[in-house]
Amino acid sequence: MAAAAQTVLISGCSSGIGLELAVRLARDPQKRYLVVATMRDLGKKKTLEEAAGDALGETLTISQMDVCSDESVTQCLGSIQGGEVDVLVNNAGVGLVGPLEGLSLQTMQDIFNTNVFGAVRLVKAVLPSMKRRRRGHIVVVSSVMGLQGVMFNEVYSASKFALEGFFESLAIQLLQFNIHISLVEPGPVVTEFEKKILEQVASTEFLGTDPETLHFFRDCYLPASRQLFTSVGQSPGQVAQAIVKVIGAARPPLRCQTNMRYRLMSALKALDASGSLYVHTAHCLLFRWPRLLSLGLRCLACSCLGSRVQPG
């Protein structure tokens, strides 16, 4: 007798990783999943509807949900048949890049409200049912920036560090309830949204920032960032495929870095417990040896390093 399909709730499905993941799960050949794909603005659902095709209304439904609203989360969960979620994918998130002096505290708080407290809000909503049934899987789309800091991404990185600490701590308790947590950690992901952000910040004034720092941001960081995305960036579909494997794993991993090419860079931190090796190397590559950084990124882009998807 075939097992009943699992209900998978995914946040942030209007585009990118969330959209790709929702479609892949809904089109599972074995029909193992019933996907509830959510987004804050249903006015943006057309792309997902077109991508879902025949799965729409069968193995995939689209619902409105704002992870920053208790009422919205409650309403969304109340609309799920049976009201029970087997797999929660915390994917909704927003980015922020730029010199710290030019960012308002309110802007920083907004990042944490979505990236951190939005994820916490969803977990609090589904945990009672998961604990009662003594089964469940919580997948969190984190980032390699939750493992190592990146210049001019201080606030975004801090939000991902917060996720890493929160969910690693929670994972210990939840094993007692047969509930698994998986932190999926992509590196650079190439999307139209990401391209627009980099274009916008290149011309943003960032009031209150000194000229030297602005020079470092525009003439050192931004060119290196663009090359990083070109050299080692993954598509949303590649990251989504890694998440599909994590969800389908018999023993889900706590952490999964999706990009083998980026692991060479994140390994620097693991080699030195003090953290100095990573900080000094990153500093030298950006400020003293930019040509070496450029050469290294070109080498990482070489196809001989194999697939960019590494499901863990």
Residue 273 lies in a domain: no
290-300 vs 222-232: helix crossing angle, rounded to 10: 20
Query: Do 197 and 226 touch, CB atoms closer than 8 A?
Result: no
Q: What are the tens digits of pLDDT across the range 192-204?
A: 878 888 888 888 9
* pLDDT at 50 > cutoff 70: yes
Residue 152 lies in a domain: yes
234 is in an annotated binding site: no
* pLDDT at 312 > cutoff 70: no
Closest to 101 (Cα-Cα) out of 152, 162, 161: 152
* pLDDT at 191 > cutoff 90: no
Closest to 36 (Cα-Cα) out of 93, 81, 101, 97: 81
pTM of the model: 0.92
Residue 296 lies in a domain: no
Calculate the average pLDDT of the chain.
92
Closest to 146 (Cα-Cα) out of 217, 200, 93, 193: 93
Report the Cα 155 to chain-centroid distance in Å: 15
* Segment holding 179, helix H or strand E: strand 179-185
36 is in an annotated binding site: yes
By residue count, the chain amounts to 312
The most distant pair of C-alpha atoms in the chain lies apart, rounded to whole Å, by 68
Residue 197 lies in a domain: yes
Which stretches of 82-219 are DSSP H helices? 105-112, 118-133, 154-174, 192-203, 211-215
Q: What is the pLDDT of residue 2?
A: 60
Residue 306 lies in a domain: no
Residue 126 lies in a domain: yes
Residue 1 lies in a domain: no
For residue 194, give its domain range: 6-213+234-259
172 is in an annotated binding site: no
What CA–CA distance (Å, rounded) separates 25 from 35?
7
Which CATH number belongs to the domain containing residue 181 in this structure? 3.40.50.720
Q: What is the pLDDT of residue 121?
A: 98
Instruction: Report, as residue numbers or ranges, the catalytic residues.
Output: 156
Q: Which two tokens stand for residue 238?
A: 């590649």
Instruction: Please state which of the ranges 52-61, 146-155, 238-247, 266-275 shows the lowest mean pLDDT.
Output: 266-275
Q: Own/partner pairs for 248-251, CB < 8 Å, 24+ apart?
A: 248/32
Q: What is the pLDDT of residue 260?
A: 86
Q: Which of 129-133, 219-223, 280-284 has the highest mean pLDDT?
A: 129-133
Query: Do 233 and 190 touch, CB atoms closer than 8 A?
Result: yes
71 is in an annotated binding site: no
Domains contained in the chain, number: 1
Q: What are the tens digits of pLDDT across the range 241-280?
A: 999 999 999 999 999 999 988 877 778 888 888 989 999 9
Q: Which two tokens stand for residue 228?
A: 């990083």
Residue 150 lies in a domain: yes
143 is in an annotated binding site: yes
